[in-house]
Chains A and B, each alone.
Chain A
């Protein structure tokens, strides 16, 4: 791409993203739908962390810690219980990059359909890949930032509320950090891809959001499996999920690019 073309593409993408966010902050439904679950989740995680300080009795969590690659030998009995209470939050944090982007993407694309703004928008020199990239990033960035900020606040709280060894051996463990750093963007792009596909076929944002929310069911299933001890989310599983969902992301991107064409948008999207 030539320097001039790159500059224009960047300008178009930034313009669309700016427009998306300008509308986003004026839409209370989107703000509440994205912020409330994130804030509640962080508060819940900190609350559990705080309450776990009152635990005194040991448990059989050492075996579980071994499975997830955390050195359980460094924890006492009550620490083991704390760890087994806090560990599911690793999975719960992955709900944020699924819920936030799909909500934003749904309101963004279906909102344009409702306002009938797509035709004048597509009549400008913007390229459809620029529009797709801008809408995708506008939905993905808040999802990623919300997850990372939420985790950072939780980690900071853990640093001061929880015992040092829980902070350094669980929350800053390789499994947790890799999951937060790697899985978050991968899950985010899964949500964005699905958001685009669903939005191209529905007429109102609520329907898109409701369909999109089905996406969290596998995560809830994973959480239940983890709590019941069927599955332990260790480093190996995190990497396996990252590769699998990454492949699905590429497939969704392929479908999204095909759906997101001027012809398709103006003649097929309803």
Chain B
């Protein structure tokens, strides 16, 4: 499968400040790619560069094999964008809002009518088609805006916080629609602060803060940060430890005994005790876990549950952004503590 979007050293400056720099990204056709990052991280700038709304200062990018600068017109025809806020003409009816954009996308009038009906019905707005957009709730406006971005059946859809204003039912409808769009082979870029949502529907996520900090599937990000961790819950007070000669007798029959035993097993990394559970880091649980469990049972442990620990994307995101903040602060420290002309020290932690 080819790439719907590629960027190579993409960067954009505003004045003397880089809003985005050195962005290298490849998004496959049919992916739902989550673009995550704190406010001011450059997500909007990336979206605008990919939509040929603003030109990059450095590097290049292509959408559906069209260059975002040299073939901007083609890029715009292949992209649908949902911005935040919805950006609708409040004093025009919902249908009129869509008709206007259908004309700007050069849709055939008959096809345009069908598309408008299709998407207004999909998002439950058909009965309100002749009502002014200004009378709609925020959620309804969001749905109308989403309908507008899909009218011309774009190959790539960029959605900025598509469910932010929606009730749970509306949010689910939009999520289902995103999955349905992916099923049709479209590529979706989802900018969101809703990390649970990103974890649920994104095939891969990229965490950005001016540049791409990390990219991968939600699971890959978690594993890169924490490895694979297995929780082994042991259920009894361990009355029968048996003769374990390698154990220090003073430890007695405690969870620590099992932890120590586990660390000696092949394929096991760190082992921690948390209440009546062992948290075991392993490179390849599929190969090494059966031996470990067997050993623990032989040593008298009542193994109640063995399960892989799922770290949330949110935790991974927060850790990655915090690490980046630390790196940024370290990089900025020598510069901010430079001595200004006249001998006055400016900035720096010591100020």
Contacts and interface: CB of A to CB of B under 8 A. Distances in A.
B328 interface: no
Contacts of B104: 12, 15-16, 121, 124-126
Contacts of B85: 116
B53 A122 contact: yes
Contacts of A122: 53
A116 B89 contact: no
A16 B14 CA distance: 30
A124 B105 contact: yes
Contact of A266 (B53, B100, B103, B149): B53
Contacts of A126: 104
A58 to B, nearest CB: 56
Given A125-B77, A266-B48, A267-B54, A120 B96 contact: no
Contact of B91 (A16, A18, A27): A27
B76 A115 contact: no
A230 interface: no
Nearest to A265: B53
Given A115-B89, A120-B148, A267 B14 contact: yes
A117 B133 CA distance: 13
A123 B53 contact: yes
Contact of B76 (A11, A19, A118, A124): A124
Interface string B73-109: 1001101010101111111100010001101111000
Nearest to A268: B14
Given A120-B145, A123-B76, A19 B89 contact: yes
Contacts of A118: 87
Contacts of A23: 89, 91-92
B91 A266 contact: no
Nearest to B51: A123
A26 interface: yes
B36 interface: no
B101 to A, nearest CB: 6
Given A26-B91, A115-B89, A125 B76 contact: yes
A119 B54 CA distance: 11
Nearest to A15: B103
B89 A125 contact: no
A23 B89 CA distance: 8
Scoring A8, A15, A118, A121 by chain B CB atoms within 10 A of each residue's CB, the highest score goes to A15
A267 B104 CA distance: 23
A159 interface: no
Contacts of B77: 125
A266 B83 CA distance: 13
A22 to B, nearest CB: 6
A19 B92 CA distance: 9
A8 B106 contact: yes
B159 interface: no
A11 B90 contact: no
Contacts of A57: none
A247 B306 CA distance: 83
A269 B92 CA distance: 24
Contacts, number: 74
A262 B83 contact: no
Interface residues of A, number: 28
A127 to B, nearest CB: 8
Contacts of A19: 89, 92, 100
Interface in A1-35: 8, 11-12, 15-16, 18-19, 22-23, 26-27
B255 interface: no
A22 B87 CA distance: 17
Nearest to A122: B53
B105 A125 contact: yes
Nearest to A4: B106
Scoring B51, B76, B87 by chain A CB atoms within 10 A of each residue's CB, the highest score goes to B87
A22 B103 CA distance: 15
A148 B118 CA distance: 45
A117 B88 contact: yes
B87 A116 contact: yes
A125 to B, nearest CB: 5
Contacts of A124: 76, 101, 104-105
A12 B103 contact: yes
B198 interface: no
Interface string B280-304: 0000000000000000000000000
Contact of A115 (B55, B81, B90): B90
B318 to A, nearest CB: 29
Nearest to B91: A26
Contacts of B14: 267
Contacts of B53: 119, 122-123, 262, 266
Scoring A8, A116, A120 by chain B CB atoms within 10 A of each residue's CB, the highest score goes to A120
A190 B285 CA distance: 75
Pick the 10 closest A-B CB pairs, nearest first: A15-B103, A124-B104, A116-B87, A26-B91, A117-B87, A123-B81, A125-B76, A120-B87, A19-B100, A119-B83
Given A16-B104, A124-B104, 7 more contacts: A19-B89, A116-B85, A120-B87, A123-B53, A123-B76, A125-B77, A262-B54
Interface of B: 14, 48, 51, 53-55, 73, 76-77, 79, 81, 83, 85-92, 96, 100-101, 103-106, 145, 148-149
21 contacts: A11-B106, A12-B104, A15-B103, A23-B89, A26-B91, A115-B89, A120-B81, A120-B83, A120-B87, A120-B148, A120-B149, A121-B104, A123-B51, A123-B76, A123-B79, A124-B76, A124-B104, A126-B104, A127-B73, A263-B55, A267-B14
